[in-house]
Chain A
Amino acid sequence: MKIIVPIKRVIDYAIKIRVDASKGPLGVELKNTKMSINPFCEIAVEEAIQLKEAAAKAKKGDAEVVAVSIGPKQCSETIRTALAMGADRGVHIETKPDVRGDYIDLQPFGIARLLKGIVDREGDVDLVLMGKQSIDSDCGQTGPFLAGLLDSPQATFAASVEREDDGSFVVERETDAGTETIKLKPSGSPAIITCDLRLNTPRYPTMPNIMKAKKKPCETISLEDMVTELGLDLDDVLVPKNEVIEVYEPPPRKEGETVESIDDLLGKLKEKGLLS
């Protein structure tokens, strides 16, 4: 079994970003800001490793987990994190330093094309496991987009993933009303599964595993070279189809007030006509 896990480097989830108009119309500062692996991607890495471990335990053959990241040279650190967690090798598609992955330059339309190219290049991929969304662009499109390009069975918002003996994947997925369970049947194309928060709790890489990860293979190739190798149209990948013309801060909320008691609170809510 071969599993591809696309991972993204994003501003750390605990940082409250600021829009600095002095930086120009697209001024979200990325430099000197703490970056981390996108939390949903971390869950995808964990799930891939758990599937690998489960296959080994049940003596159902070895699985290979390949972490793929698209972005600036620091993405190699993100791949090392995945390798330290247990991924077998990495592929880094390196972009020029000024290319922004937070929707301004790279968008799902291009990313999904690159990922399809990687799937085709690797061959024999059984599963692509990825986050349900990145917390910077908040698009949530790349997984289903890739499934559409590959004509693959898909499951988004996975809360549990089981591999069956016939090679199908049974996925319980979060819906608006609860959950539903679907089976992704084996087809000529890999199954695409996007991970929700509840799927698992990612492990912390141990020091020995961090050391071992340094020796694991990671191929780095420039985005331009990769596009050429894959025979893609560079404009399809690098020119955003949806042009961002301005990024701005949402209007602040009116300053609130402290109430001293429930009676005080009820008085205020009645005054506003929210309660009768």
Chain B
Amino acid sequence: PMHQQSRSESTLVIAEPSSDESALAPATLSAVTAASKLHSGPISLLTFASGSASVPAGVSSVIQAKAEGDASLLAETVTNAVVAANEKHNFTHIVTPGTKFGANYLGRAGAQLGVSPISDVVEVLSESLIVYNEDTFVRPLYAGNALAKVVAKGDGPKLISVRPTAFEKAEADSEPASTETIDVSANELTEWLLESVSKSERPDLGAASVVISGGRGMKNGENFAMLEKLADKLGGAVGASRAAVDAGFVPNDLQVGQTGKVVAPDLYIAVGISGAIQHLSGMKDSKTIVAINKDKEAPIFQVADYGLVADLFDAVPELTDKV
């Protein structure tokens, strides 16, 4: 890209923990793609994993953070690692996945680096420095009902989180040219006690190419088994609206929307979901949207490519049988 380099530019991408140590998390791969649009300088990857995963082309070095006495990745620990890596290399840009993992420490890292972070970047305009002579990004406001073009001002590294669904996943197929380790000081402020993780054989909700979501219309948690059956046939993931989570049908990590996960699969099937602003915010960038709802006035039909007005308890089993 056309670029006036006033000083040598370099980016640090923070790798989010992956369930598979030999592969980078999908959100990290999207962050690398966003990073590659910033400038033509080198990209480093900060990881807490001890396994050696292959990296996307363009990632020249891996910085392995060794946090003493703290197996989990609390915000204080991650921030300490980011600050330590930046002190050593003086990056011009720091990019983090816009997931709960990233959101947890983005602000804290901003405070400690003395910079103002930009959350949930959906487009990097920095490639066109003829038009935008400073780093310029697009980010959503108001549950995605408005987009803002934002110029990153101020000294210090440009710190951004990127929405994973807005960038293709970079292909990880090479070895990094260099690997170094940094020691991260222990976090004395917080102590990790335990976790409760939903286990599923289905693909990760944030990265699945097919998502079937249920809402209040599902009536109870047991009925979600219907959606799981359809998801298994389509190789997809199951999601939910806030109404379904609030009613206790399914755990919160399945929530799609402004306050849950943002998804953009090839195919999104909304079942018994009315389509509140907050839900649409998390799925309206899906390539194809199907809505099944018995209320023909439901707002979900305004964003659906294909809408079927029907009782979901008839339609979903029939659909599952026929695919």
Contact = CB atoms under 8 A, between A and B. Distances in A.
Interface of A: 11, 13-14, 16-19, 28, 102-103, 107-109, 112, 132-133, 135-149, 151-157, 159, 170, 174-185, 187, 196-198, 240-250, 253-254, 256-263, 265-266, 268-269, 272, 274-275
A244 B150 contact: yes
Contact of A174 (B100, B119, B323): B100
B258 A135 contact: yes
A14 B190 contact: no
Given A28-B141, A185-B188, A258 B119 contact: no
B58 interface: no
Given A103-B148, A144-B75, A183-B191, A157 B110 contact: no
B192 A274 contact: no
A17 B145 contact: yes
B92 interface: no
Contacts of B149: 244-248
16 contacts: A19-B146, A107-B116, A108-B117, A141-B117, A144-B103, A148-B108, A154-B189, A154-B190, A176-B261, A179-B252, A180-B194, A187-B189, A198-B246, A241-B154, A243-B150, A253-B305
Contacts of B319: 262, 265-266
A27 B154 CA distance: 25
B192 A177 contact: no
Interface of B: 16, 19, 72, 74-76, 79, 99-101, 103-112, 115-120, 136, 140-154, 188-198, 206, 234, 242, 245-246, 251-253, 258-259, 261, 266-267, 277-278, 284, 288-290, 301-309, 315, 318-319, 322-323
Q: Is the interface of B mostly helix, strand, loop or mixed?
A: mixed
Contacts of B74: 182
Contacts of B79: 148
Given A138-B140, A249-B147, A256-B307, A148 B104 contact: no
Given A242-B118, A242-B153, A250-B145, A178 B253 contact: yes
B146 A17 contact: yes
B288 A272 contact: yes
A246 B148 contact: yes
Contact of A256 (B153, B289, B315): B289
B83 to A, nearest CB: 10
Contacts of A197: 242, 246, 252, 259
Contact of B103 (A28, A153, A156, A260): A156
Given A109-B116, A154-B76, A250-B145, 13 more contacts: A108-B107, A148-B108, A154-B190, A177-B19, A179-B195, A185-B190, A244-B149, A246-B149, A249-B145, A249-B147, A261-B308, A265-B308, A274-B267
B306 A259 contact: yes
B307 A257 contact: yes
The residue in B146, B188, B206 that gathers the most chain A C-beta atoms within 10 A of its C-beta is B146
B305 A254 contact: yes
B304 to A, nearest CB: 5
A263 B259 CA distance: 35
Contact of B111 (A18, A112, A140, A156): A112
